[in-house]
Structures are given as structure tokens and as C-alpha cells.
Amino acid sequence: MKSFKLKLVLLLTICFVAFTELNAQEQVLTKYVDPFIGATGEGHTFSGASLPYGMVKIGPDCGKLNANSGYDGDGEIKGVSHVHVSGTGGPPKYGNVLVAATSGPVDIINYGSHRTNESAAPGYYAYRSKEHNIESEYTVTHSVGFHKYTFAKNQKLNLMFDLGSFLAGGDNKKSGEYSQELVGSEVRVISDTEIEGYTRIRWGWNVGDAYTVYFYAVTDKPAQQTGTWKSGKLDKNKKSQFDSHEPVGAYLTFGSNSSGEVKMKVGISFLSIGKAKQNIKNELPAWDFEKVKKDASDIWNEKLNKVVVKTKNEDQKKIFYSAVYRTMLMPVNRTGENPKWKSDAPYYDDFYCIWDTFRATHPLLTLIQQDEQVEMINSLIDIYKQEGYAPDARSGNSTGRTQGGSNSDVLIADAFVKGLKGINYEEALNSMIKNAEVPPGGDERLMGRGGINDYNNLGYVSTDYERAGSRTMEYAYNDYCIAIVAKGLGKDALYEKYINRSKNWENIWNKDIESDGAKGFIWPKRKDGTWSNKWNVHKSEGWSGWLYEGNSWEYSLYVPHDVASVVAKAGGKDAFVSRLDTFFTKNTQSFHPWLNDYYNVNNEPGFLTPTLYTYAGKSYKTNETVRNIIIKNYTSKPDGLPGNDDAGSMSAWYIFNTIGFFPVAGQDVYIITAPMFNEVSLNLGNGKTFKIVANKLSAKNLYIKSIKLNGKFLDRAWFRHEEIENGGVMEIEMTNKPISWDKVLPPSLSTNK
């Protein structure tokens, strides 16, 4: 017995030491995260407090309440609300359960204030209000916003809950832009420390169904006065306001006997008030603000340590870790909070949208957040099982709107070829086939593939449909993804069907079109098979054009499964390289470059294009192109992102390209782009690490001279997932000379079947 005890003590000691060592290995990386990067300008990033994939995102709603993240840099702060997204465009979504802190008399309209100072860190946001002389601090757990208000002892504090407030703007129903609108709201003051209620909103970017955000709020001190309002009418004696499709609110007023500090927990739920209350009980039973703040920071720090980079450039570290941080804000884990059905599957919302995130964000998760990636895919499959389609985008518990292809197909293929466990690939394949075969109907932007009847009957989407060009290009790649999964599951007939359909992009390739020395472009084709004569290769359109957010220069290059075929059609390697040179140099970087330019750094259709040089044997051009784009477009300033961050997509593009390689999403292939860090360690989980070392790296030494992967020299500027999935080392010698050292081209359908 004694011996057993001794063993146990030894074991515990070893565990403790191991645990301490593991923690000791973790660096403090949160200090490099600046949540304000991308928060102004076109980035639209969220600057408030959230956990990774956190349901509650507490942050300021500013000015005219029309910013996508709620935030602007210097306008009035109306208050903080509890649900947000990050980096999105179009009519904003969320901004629910707004709380404003004021002093003086209760004013249910003008409760906003200006900030005299403001700070943010992972899991924390704070500002001081100029007009009201109140210090407001916020931290979070997964589903609870934790508020702390400090005010002068001779002063009053009003906590105003405005359930009629939400983010809105961009309404243009004719072009399909629907601003959020109120469906209803309700509030009850339960006691002098408790308020509960909800706000019910519909529409916004995805034109979604009504969603309801319930809350339960409790303070650490009793209020001296309470009241409510409805439709602009204050009632100081009424304790509740029922839902009559009108905006309601309530307030708690604390006097000087509240010792100048009031804390409040606001539990949020998409199910009910009871669940919101329970979320507080589960996640935040005590009142220690500093501890919760530190816990949030620690959770983020662990996540940030998944990628450790070495460089002496502290500013670069700031850009990098802020980017890593932003890739983990969305989608949102709402497991246990689905008001539409009961399921054992995980439930994620705010895929917003996969058209953005399938290219870089999800492949990044597959490397460093595999469990979450599996959960997200399983939640997509569950949505397919319950509602009929795996979404390309979803927010507020509603699927919509599809941008181009059915890109959940790419996520599934990417997981399949990289061997992710815990996914029912048979069901997943069914969801892909549904996309490919059954028209979404009434609303072609809602789900599945708009115009699929044309695509399946004619081999391309005709000009009868909007986005016919970009849809055709994306559907072809989506079909390739189906083929690959079908083949892997032993379904050869399905493979043949879809691999043939993956060549459909050729049907809109017009070999006679010339532009700036390049010949052959994708081009609008009518239902009768004739080419449109009203078009030009520079034409780039938003929602309703032939190409979605891109031009023919750009989309003609989007054939990720068969770049070799594009190279051939473009006139061979030299012509192709020359075409890429034109593509990347004719870039005026206007405010909305995707409306004017050839290459769009700030939009997703061009994510892969810098790597295409490598497909023509000129990987050094990939190196310099990537380096140029990064230096020109990414900074540590609030406007330091090119275009909307799109749920972390711009950030993920940056991360891959600075650590030295970029994924061809849907394939087990990474193109080496050259690192911008001396050393990178990717924690692949289960104790596996993939290390990238860049020797002699400098501003001038931006080219690759040679690469050793796991001790062996590479004769190719790409590698497969299986070569790194168990960890390893990639050692790269850098040089200042552009050298064509790579011999073997990356795989393409037409050359490497």
C-alpha cells in the first residue's frame, strides 16, 4: 500500500513538472495582438472582447450604428452590445442587447458618449466616456459578457438596456441588400439586481429569418431605481414591457452608495432567458473581474502559441499575431444554442462566408486547430441533414447568401484528402451531390448552386443568370472536389461523372479574346451557345454581374485543379508567365481595386494567383510577388488590412504566406511561397511540430535557393500534407538571386491524373 502511494505521488509530481514545463514553453503572445488592426478603414474587424469562436462578442456600437463590426475609430459610442461579427461587408448583422452607461438623468434616446481613451486586448475592451465620466471595462466567457463600471462616488450610474438597438444600413432591396429590422423585443426588471429579456431581429446581410437573442443580466449591487420604456415612451414605474413588435428598454440606476464601482454579468442565449441565466451559472459563477479577464487572455495565449514565429521585427510580430487572433473569431461555436433542432452534432453559426474562408482559413485550422475544423464540418453536414443543404454562408441561424460555388464541397474534400478523422464522409458526399444536382429554386442566392440547371444541361451557366461566369468556374472546381471524395470512397462511376464535369470551365473559355498581349479569356456565353458581344475583360461587378467581385483577367486563372491546362490554353509557360507579370503589375491599388484592377489583393478570387508562377516553373516569381503584396498591403495600423478581413480570410492569407507556404484548398498540396520569419513552429497537436527555418533571410534575400524537407533536398516548390502531418522540419536557404531551382511542377488534372 505504501509503495502504491509512493508511486502515485511520483506520478503526480511528474505530471506537475510536465505541466509546468508545457506552460513554460508557452510564450506570452497576447501582447502582440492589437484588436484595433483592421478595425477602421475597409477591414471591418471586431475590436471588442471575445473568446476563440466565442458566442458573446462584446464591443462598442458606434455612430450611426451602420458599421459591420459596430466599431468606428472616433465617433460616438452608443453603448456596447453582445453579438457581433468580424470583417464582413454588405448590410451589417447583429449588434444585439445594447447596454449604455450614463450619469445624470435617464435619457432613453441620447445615451451615447465620446471616448477619451480606449484599449483592447484579447478578451478585453475598455473606454472612458467623456460626457459621463465613467470607466467602462468588459471581458468575456464563451456566452457571458462581464461588465465593470467605475464612476465617481458623488455620481450616479445608469445602465441602459436598449433592446430596440441593432446594427443597420445598406438597405437596397432591389439589389438584394436587406438591412436588419426589428421583429420584436421584451424586457423585465426582475429585482433591483436583475433584468431579463430579448431582442428579435431579421434580415441583414444574408436576408436571414428572424433570430432572437435572449439575455439575463445580474449586478453585484442593488440598483436604487429602475424603469422601462417602449417605442420612445419612458415609464419609471413599469417593471416590464411585453412584445408588441416594438422596441423596448429598461434601466438600472445606481447611486453614490454603490461605492463607485458596479459589476454586471450579461448571459446571452439563442434559446431562452433561462439558458442565458444558466450560461452565467456554468461559466461565470463568481465576481472576480480580473480573474475572468486573465482567464480569457490565457485561453487566447494558448491558441496563439499554436504558431510561434521568430523575428527581431516586433512590428511584424504584431501584424502576425493579430492576424492569427482574427482567424479564430469566426465561425462561432453555438453548440447547445440551436433554436431550430436538437442534435448530437456540434452547431456552428456565422460561416460568413465559406466562399471567403475555404481558401486559407480552414486549411489553417486543419493544421493547428484540427478538432475545431472537424466540428465545423460536422456542423455543416448536420445542417445539410436537417435543412437540406450544407450552407456556403450562414448567420443568425439562417443559411444564405451564396457568393459563387457550393464551397462547403471544398472544405469536405480538403478534410478528406488530409485524412481528418471523425467525419462521416458518406453523408458529406451526399451533401455535395445535393449541391451539384438540386436547384435551390425560388432564391438562387440562398443555398446550393444557383443556375445549376443551366450548368448541368449546357455545361456552363448561361447569361440568363447573374454571376454566370464565376459560378461556372467555381462549380467546375466544386465538381472536382466531389470527384476526389467519390474516388476515395470507391465510387468510380461518380468519380467519372464529376471529373468530367470539372472540365466545364473550358466551355466558357473564349480563345479569341485578347487583352494586353494575353490571349484566351473566360467570356459570357448565351443559352444558345453564342458568345456575348457586350463585355470586356476588365469588367468587374458586384452582386449582379457576370462575374462576382472580380474580372476576367482574374477569374480566367481560377482553375485550382488544372492550372497546367490554363497554362497550355494561355499559350504555354512563357506566355503564361508574361500574362501573370501583366496581371500583377497592372495594379493601381485604388480604394476599391476590385472594381478597376487586374489583380485584387483584397478579394478572395485572387488568393491563389501569386502561386501560379510555380505551376509554370518560376517559383522565384511567386516568392517576390507574395513579398511585394505583403509589404505594400499589411501594416499594424487600424487601417492595416487590404479590404474586408472577411471573417479572418485576409489574415489567414497573410499567415500562410509569411510562414512560407500556401494551401491549394481541397487538395493535399501546399505551394512554397518563402517565409518572412527566421523560424516558424506549427503545433500540429498530439505533440507534433512542423518547423520552418529560413537561413540567411533578409529584406534582399527574399528568394529561395534550396529546401531540405525532413533532411532531404526538394526538387519542387511544393509539398503534400502527408509529408508534414506527423511533424518535421523544412530548412530553407534564402538568397538575393531569383533562381529557377525547382524541377517538378505541382499536380494538375491534365498532367498528373
**Interface residues toward a copy of itself, by CB under 8 A:** 181-184, 186, 188, 198, 200, 202, 209-210, 212, 240-245, 269, 271-275, 277-278, 336, 339-342, 388-389, 438-443, 447-448, 453
Nearer to a copy of itself, 275 or 525 (CB): 275
Angular region, 711: left φ>0, alpha ψ -120 to 50, beta rest? left
Q: How many CB atoms lie within 10 A of CB 637?
A: 16
Give the separation between CA 520 and CA 742, rounded to whole angstroms.
27
Cβ 143 vs Cβ 131: under 8 Å = no
Nearer to a copy of itself, 97 or 616 (CB): 97
CA-closest candidate to residue 353, choices 378, 330, 323: 330
Least CB distance to a copy of itself at residue 61 (A) = 21
Strands 728-735 and 688-695: parallel
Nearer to a copy of itself, 48 or 391 (CB): 391
Least CB distance to a copy of itself at residue 481 (A) = 20
Least CB distance to a copy of itself at residue 107 (A) = 25
Nearer to a copy of itself, 36 or 465 (CB): 465
Neighbouring-strand partners of residue 79:
61
Burial of 170 from C-beta contacts in 10 A (0-12 / 13-18 / 19+) = middle
Least CB distance to a copy of itself at residue 388 (A) = 5
Least CB distance to a copy of itself at residue 446 (A) = 8
Q: How many CB atoms lie within 10 A of CB 74?
A: 11
Least CB distance to a copy of itself at residue 371 (A) = 22
Nearer to a copy of itself, 260 or 388 (CB): 388
Least CB distance to a copy of itself at residue 167 (A) = 18
Say which residues have a Cβ less than 8 Å from residue 37's Cβ, sequence separation at least 6.
Answer: 43, 45, 318, 319, 322, 635, 636, 637, 638, 640, 641
Q: DSSP character for 9?
A: H
Give the separation between CA 55 and CA 267, rounded to whole angstroms.
11
Give the separation between CA 443 and CA 441, rounded to whole angstroms.
6
Amino acid identity, position 311: T
Nearer to a copy of itself, 198 or 553 (CB): 198
Nearer to a copy of itself, 216 or 495 (CB): 216
CA-closest candidate to residue 44, choices 226, 197, 170: 170
Cell, residue 32: 502582440
Say which residues have a Cβ less than 8 Å from residue 394's Cβ, sequence separation at least 6.
Answer: 206, 349, 350, 351, 352, 383, 400
Nearer to a copy of itself, 383 or 717 (CB): 383
Nearer to a copy of itself, 182 or 323 (CB): 182
Cell, residue 634: 499589411
Least CB distance to a copy of itself at residue 505 (A) = 24
Nearer to a copy of itself, 230 or 293 (CB): 230
Least CB distance to a copy of itself at residue 438 (A) = 6
Give the separation between CA 187 and CA 108, rounded to whole angstroms.
14
Q: How far is CA 267 from CA 196, 274, 473, in A?
A: 9, 10, 45
